[in-house]
Amino acid sequence: MTAPANPSVEAAAGPIGLPRGLIPWIVAAGAFIVLWRFGGAYDWAFEYPGAAIIPAGRWIGDFMKWLVNEAHFGLFSFKDLTRFIAALIDLPYRCALSLLATGFLKGQGSGAVQILPPLSWVAVTATIGLIGFHAGGRKLATLVVLCFGFLAAFGQWQSAMATLASILVAVPIGVIGGLLLGIAAYRWHWFERALTPVLDLMQTIPVFAYLVPILFLFGFGPTAAVVATVIYAMPPMTRIATLALRAVPSDTLDLGRMIGCTRRQMTWRVLVPSAKDGLMVGVNQVIMLSLNMVIIASMIGAGGLGFDVLAALRRLDIGAGLEAGLAIVALAIALDRLSQAFAARAGTMTPPAVSTSLPARHPYIVAALAMIVLAGVAGLAMPALQTYPPALQLSTGSFWSNVVGWINVNYFDTLEAAKNAVLLNILVPLKRLLLGLPWAGVTALLAFAGYRLGGLRLATLTGALAFLIAATGQWEKAMITVYLCGISVVLACLIGVPIGIAAAQRDRLWNWVQVIIDTLQTLPSFVYLMPAVMLFRVGDFTAMIAVVAYAISPAIRYTVHGLRKVDPRLIEAGTAMGCTQWQLLTRIKIKLALPEIMLGLNQTIMFALSMLVITALVGTRDLGQEVYIALTKADTGRGLVAGLAVAFIAIIADRLISAGAARTKARLGLE
């Protein structure tokens, strides 16, 4: 299938027996160390001169003010445009919310009168169960009914439906928008080039940095929350869509051309269906990331479960916070498994039925409607069917607080000792080291790495971005960011990649691991952050735990994805040649899965960076804190500059890793 690894690259050695590629690296590193150790006389190389700092914060702040208050297209202002979009989004949202949570109302505010009650909990659960049965049989139906039953039984129903309403609006927008952008990027190379940095910015600038302008433009409320959610959740869909489309085998495309598909047919009948598996990973990510925004969305008027989590943890009610958090997870799992099942079904086309009666053609729709009406009418007679009876609600009460309390009382000293060992031996020295490095040297080194891995263009990019971080006066905070995220990413990979390798070959294990990483990815980190503060105090260590817990999921997911994609024929060939299991793994599977694992690393870094704002809540002093401070001072410019610095770090890391991955791929003859 693929050409064997090109041996000449690895074997090419320089005159002193080192691989030739290494020599420039050694020279560059040597120059860097000389500057760092003996360059004390050049103050400017260590601390960026204050007089030369670019006042980007002010410029951006002024620009945003202009955009919000004055920008005009002649007939209407920019704000009119965004408010119009907001109204468009608001319409389906209101419908979903009325249907699920509030009922249809006449009038506004406290003067409103309910005309029609919302769907009862029985109706919603039964409908979801039917959808599950339709898409994936009895097993899936049981799972989703259990998930929704959990929401009702733990008294989270009302909030969960408010959250579900905003998710039901945000996810389709994210998926469709992402897919369209992905197709465009697949088709036009220039578009992809232009889009990539925008996607990076969307995914990595912390939401807090642009929250205020969004609120001005889209109005305070759930719509703004939906917009912020889409901005954050769409990029992975676009990326994965492009990747998946590109992976469609050329035979399929040839076949499409041969049977005379038009361009449109080619896209929607051939390309998109063939790339379905990959696209579903994207859909999964959009759902997960949307649910991840629930907390921030609740801060700007979306209410729902996110608000419950925040309010519970402010009273230190760990159990209530966990219950609300797990409700988010239950929603995520139900939605994700449903979407996966639908995707799997879509492949098996059923011939259009010719039978005449409506129930025979659409048994499920009719059954669901009947169920809704029945439950609605029954709900009028028996309120317990309309609203889950509070008397039957379960709660873990103070159980979880007691568990944390028990650990705290009995094991605090042990934990403290372990924490201090890690902190004093690894974290603090690393932080000192990074803070002591000269910015000029680091910038030059990054530019050099860019040059070696990707040529002059990449060198210019990495060098310029690093310089801009220094030139806007963010260097020190950026270094703290690099330190915290760097160490967390290393840890996440050290834990995640082996788990991924183990899970890739065992389906049962993978099912469990999937549940765990889905939980970690959607459970609001606030839920475990506060117990972590109780056991480890505020500070970098607690922040690190939170980042690792969140960033570990892509490390696992992409490793599994990559290993499972390895061509089984190659593995058979390996087995036939008498490879041991270990050799099979290290020589064949991991090598071939390396590009995927690298993409996982890339996403791990992105995830880690996106946790920065959360870590600011436990007292770190990095760029996330800067963004947070800017929010409290209502200083949009300052927030965006810090947010951009985060994005620059992400882009530098991403480009260097991608260039490295491309070289590896070329060496392995995968492309």
Partner 1 sequence: MFARNKVLQSAAIALALSAAFAMTPATAQESTDPIKLTLHDWTGQLITTEIMGEVLKKGGYNIEYVQADYLAQFAGLEAGDLHVAMEMWETTGRDAMDAATATGKVENIGPTGMKAKEEWWFPEYMKEKCPGLPNWEALKEASCAEAFSTAETAPKGRYLGGPVTWGGFDDERVQALDLPFEVIHAGTDAALFAELESAYQRQAPIMLWIYAPHWAPAKYKGEWVEFPAYTKECYEDPKWGSNAAAQYDCGKPFGEIWKVGWSGVKDKWPGAYAAIKAFTINNDEMGAMITKVDLDGKSVSDVVAEWMGANEARWSGWIKK
DSSP, collapsed to helix, strand or coil, labels residue 133 as helix
Instruction: Give the amino acid at 65.
Output: K
**Interaction with partner 1 in 520-549: which residues (CB under 8 A)?**
526, 529-531, 533-535, 537-539
Q: Could you tell me if 610 and 530 are in contact, meaning their C-beta atoms sit under 8 angstroms apart?
A: no
Q: Is 113 in the site for partner 1 (CB under 8 A)?
A: no
Q: Which of 629, 657, 662, 668 binds partner 1 (CB under 8 A)?
A: 629
Q: How far is the CB of 485 from partner 1 (least distance, A)?
A: 16
Instruction: Give the amino acid at 154.
Output: F
Q: Is 81 in the site for partner 1 (CB under 8 A)?
A: no
Nearer to partner 1, 200 or 540 (CB): 540
Q: Is 627 in the site for partner 1 (CB under 8 A)?
A: no
Q: How far is the CB of 518 from partner 1 (least distance, A)?
A: 25
Q: What angle do CA 185, 188, 193 make, to 5 degrees?
A: 60
Q: Which of 166, 525, 615, 658 binds partner 1 (CB under 8 A)?
A: 615
Nearer to partner 1, 232 or 451 (CB): 232
Q: Which of 48, 133, 439, 628 binds partner 1 (CB under 8 A)?
A: 628
Specify which residues 77 forms β-bridges with: 72
Total interface residues for partner 1 by CB under 8 A: 57
Q: Could you tell me if 33 and 428 are in contact, meaning their C-beta atoms sit under 8 angstroms apart?
A: no
Q: How far is the CB of 638 from partner 1 (least distance, A)?
A: 12
Instruction: Give the amino acid at 296.
Output: I
Nearer to partner 1, 302 or 437 (CB): 302
CA 17 vs CA 13, 22, 89, 369, 667: distances in Å = 6, 11, 64, 76, 20
* Ramachandran assignment for 301, one of left (phi > 0), alpha (psi -120 to 50 degrees), beta (any other): left
**Interaction with partner 1 in 125-144: which residues (CB under 8 A)?**
none
DSSP, collapsed to helix, strand or coil, labels residue 116 as strand
Q: Is 299 in the site for partner 1 (CB under 8 A)?
A: yes
Q: How far is the CB of 82 from partner 1 (least distance, A)?
A: 11
Q: Is 476 in the site for partner 1 (CB under 8 A)?
A: no
Q: Which of 122, 330, 371, 423 binds partner 1 (CB under 8 A)?
A: 423
Instruction: Give the amino acid at 319.
Output: G
Q: Is 606 in the site for partner 1 (CB under 8 A)?
A: no
Stretch that binds partner 1, among 11-19, 39-47, 298-306, 651-659 (CB under 8 A): 298-306
Stretch that binds partner 1, among 38-46, 301-309, 346-354, 456-464 (CB under 8 A): 301-309
45 token code pair: 């190389």
650 token code pair: 């992400």
Q: What angle do CA 53, 59, 65 make, to 5 degrees?
A: 155
Q: Is 52 exposed, middle or buried (0-12, 13-18, 19+ CB in 10 A)?
A: exposed
CA-CA distance, 611 to 604, in Å (whole number)?
A: 11
Q: How far is the CB of 327 from partner 1 (least distance, A)?
A: 17
Nearer to partner 1, 67 or 538 (CB): 538
Residues 6+ apart with CB under 8 A from 604: 489, 492, 493, 496, 551, 552, 554, 555
Binding site for partner 1 (CB under 8 A): 107-111, 211-212, 215-216, 219-221, 298-303, 307, 310-311, 313-316, 405, 408-409, 412, 416, 420, 423-424, 526, 529-531, 533-535, 537-539, 615-620, 625, 628-629, 631-635
